[in-house]
Structures are given as structure tokens and as C-alpha cells.
Amino acid sequence: MTKVAVLGATGMVGQRFVQLLENHPWFETVCLAASDASKGKQYGPAGNWVLDTEMPEFAGGMAVSGCTAKEVADSGAELAFSALPSDVALRVEKELAAAGIGVVSKAAAHRMDADVPLLIPEVNPEHIGLIEAQRQNRNWAGFISSDPNCSTCQLALALKPLQQFGPQQIIVTTMQAVSGAGFPGVPSLAIQNNAIPFINGEEEKMEMELAKMLGTLENGAVRHANMEVIASCNRVNTQEGHLESVAIEFADRPSLADIAQALEQFRGAPQQLGLPTAPTQPIVVRAEPDRPQPRKDWSAGNGMSVTVGRLRQKGSYTLFSCLASNTIRGAAGNGILHAELLHKRGYI
Ligand code: NAP
């Protein structure tokens, strides 16, 4: 078993990591770390558990650790899942990598660094190769490998099988659940009976991260995909699952049947390798006119599948809606699948 730590374990994404790591066949959780406000407390009371399932038994009695490299290394962890705020991650993750620990990060801090993979295992598994350059550039025994922003993750998955048709322009409007803002997140009086047409930094993240993930690895560097992305991000009063309305102009003009087939038949490295957290079908296509819906579809494929529906054409645009769990596929689930791929490829 590989010993792992969860940094930011008391937060929204950290709790998902703790939930999904229970009984993991390859990873044993030996360290739950958070801020000085939680350090030293038992995880049970400190965790402020917000998920619908019971807190895993292994976690309740563990003492919350701090996030320094020494504290994490002393726990025996070889790998750390980071669910820290970005400003904290910027400092902590480098210290851990320098101390020989592998970091799979949910934070934005290092996503756009040229030598850091930004990874969805089904989309760009070959970008793992950047770790070699990173270790040389930075003289680290460990590494940092990043996960994308939650709203970008599901869209990149839906776009991957459509890249063959030459997407030129992608216009996306998101309706993002409140759990995407962490806990306690958006104040209830701000979001109750309301929608907020602004999420700080989210549109820029979608535009930049998509181009990196859909880019190609050439001579040890990623050449970003050449396409225009225009994102408008909204916070809405749903609990889990970001819904996105997408319009794409393709260079080729694929038929709707070609698009549906490409989405449904798409499988990636995790499915081929049989990784423990891989969904059987990464993309589920629904024919009903009123799907996907956050409440009905967020848990498709145990929260790891993207549901696509409302597939149609208007003028030169192909339109669809897509949805996935923001805390599982958009966060902890993708992080664990990412670590499973690193494990399989010998990086941990
Ligand atoms: P959150 O609920 O606010 O949790 C933040 C966690 O970080 C808590 O465990 C907190 O510990 C810890 N923390 C805060 N300041 C710290 C410090 N100075 N030192 C050490 N630990 C500290 O946030 P979240 O939604 O889980 O998000 C975590 C990260 O994942 C963020 O970078 C976010 O952008 C990213 N992300 C979130 C989602 C999502 O759906 N929520 C999806 C993708 C990516 P205490 O409890 O002790 O304060």
C-alpha cells in the first residue's frame, strides 16, 4: 500500500478525498492535515463533516496534522493530495515536492506552470511526462502534478472525443453549484433564491486550462491547443454538479449521429488499464430533452462520468449541455484517478 496524506482534509474537497479513499485498494491514508485552527484536534470534531454518507471510521479518531513538509513526511506519506486554498498551496506544495513527496493538487497555484502536468487521465495521460522535466528543472525528488478547475474538467472530457472534428470556437455558459465554493462557501443570504453572474477568476481558468489540457506534448513541452474559448460563469443555488451550456463551431461539420457516437464510445487510459476509480463509461449521452439535471445526474458513474444531453445544431454551431459532480470528477475523484495513473506508471 502507498501511504498518502490529504492536505485541506477538513474542507469540502478534502472531505471527498477522505470519503473516496476509504478502503482504497492501493492507497492508505496516514495523514489528514489542515490549518493551525484544526491542527491537533481529532478529525471527527474538527472535520465539520458535510457529506451525506457517514464519516469513514478510519478518519474520525485521527489527529489533524499541520501541512509542513516535516509533518507530512513524518507521517510516512509518499504522496499528498492537496485540497488547499491556492495561496497556501503555492508555498506548501513546493516544500513537499522538494522533500521528496509527490503532490497531486486540486489548487490553481501551479496549474499553468510549463513543467507541471495539468491532468485528466482520460484526456491527456501522456502529459505525465512533464514530471521528468520538472524534476530536472527544479531538482526535486518529489513532484507536483495538477488537476484542473472543476468546471473545466467536465468540459475537457466532453471535448476530447470531439477534437477529431476540429473545434474552432467554444462558447460555454456555466451554472455552478454552491459546493464548488467550498465550505462554508457562499453565504446563504447571498445565494438563496438567487443566481450570481460572476465567479472570481473562473472564466480565465476555463479558457487557459482547456487549451493546455487539449494541447500536445512535443519535445518535453505542451503546445497549447489552438481554439477560441469564451466562458461565462454563474453561481446558482444547487448543491452539487455544475451544469454547462456549450456551443461549438467545428472546422469539419460532423453530423449529430457522429458526435453522439464519438462521445458514447470514448474510452481512455484509465478504462484500458482498469484503474480502480475509472468509470466504465466516462461520457454518458442522454436523449431526453430535459437532461442532464444536477439533482438527477450528478452521481452518474459514481460521480466520475460526464452526462451530455440536449445535443442539437443551430446554424454553424453544435450545441449541448454537460454536467458532472464538481467535488468528485471535478475534484477528489479525478485526483485519485490521477494518482492511480501515476502509480501504474511508476511515479509513486
Ligand atoms: P474549503 O472547503 O474552504 O477547504 C479549505 C481547506 O484548506 C480546509 O481544510 C482548511 O483547513 C485548509 N486551509 C485553509 N487555510 C490553510 C492554511 N493556511 N494552512 C493549511 N490549511 C489551510 O475549500 P475547497 O472547496 O475544499 O477547495 C480546496 C481547493 O480545491 C481550492 O484550491 C479550490 O479552488 C479547489 N477546488 C475546489 C472544488 C470544489 O468543488 N469545491 C473543485 C475543484 C477545485 P481548516 O478547516 O483548518 O480551516
- For ligand 1, is residue 88 a contact (CB within 6 Å)? yes
Please list the active-site residues. Answer: 150, 242
Ligand 1 atom index nearest CA of 183: 2
Handedness of CA 323, 106, 273, 31 (dihedral sign): negative
Label residue 55 by pLDDT band (50, 70, 90). very high
**What are the pLDDT digits (tens) for 138-180?**
999 999 999 999 999 999 999 999 999 999 999 999 999 999 9
pLDDT, tens digit, for every residue of 69-120? 999 999 999 999 999 999 999 999 999 999 999 999 999 999 999 999 999 9
Amino acid 46: pLDDT: 78
CA nearest ligand 1 atom 24, residue: 182
CA angle 32, 103, 145 (to 5 degrees): 145
Ligand 1, pocket-test mutation among 35, 104, 235, most atoms within 8 A of CB = 35
- Helix orientation angle between 333-344 and 12-21, rounded to the nearest 10 degrees: 50
Q: Which domains does the chain have, with CATH numbers?
A: 2-149+331-344 (3.40.50.720), 150-325 (3.30.360.10)
Give percent above pLDDT 70 in the chain. 100
> Residue ranges of the alpha helices (H) in 266-332?
269-273, 294-297
Residues 6+ apart with CB under 8 A from 52: none
Q: What is the pLDDT of residue 45?
A: 84
Per-residue pLDDT band at 283 (split at 50, 70, 90): very high
Q: Hey, which of 6, 13, 118 would you mutate to test ligand 1's pocket, going by the most ligand atoms within 8 Å of its Cβ?
A: 13
Query: Phi, psi (5° rounding) for residue 45?
Result: -65, -35
227 CB under 6 A from ligand 1?
Answer: no
What is the dihedral sign for C-alpha 69, 75, 81, 83? negative
Ligand 1 mean position, distance from CA 109 (Å): 12
The answer, yes or no, to whether any atom of ligand 1 lies below 6 A from the CB of 173, is no
Please tell me if the CB atom of residue 38 comes closer than 6 angstroms to any atom of ligand 1.
yes
Grid cell, residue 205, equals 481558468
Average pLDDT, the chain: 97
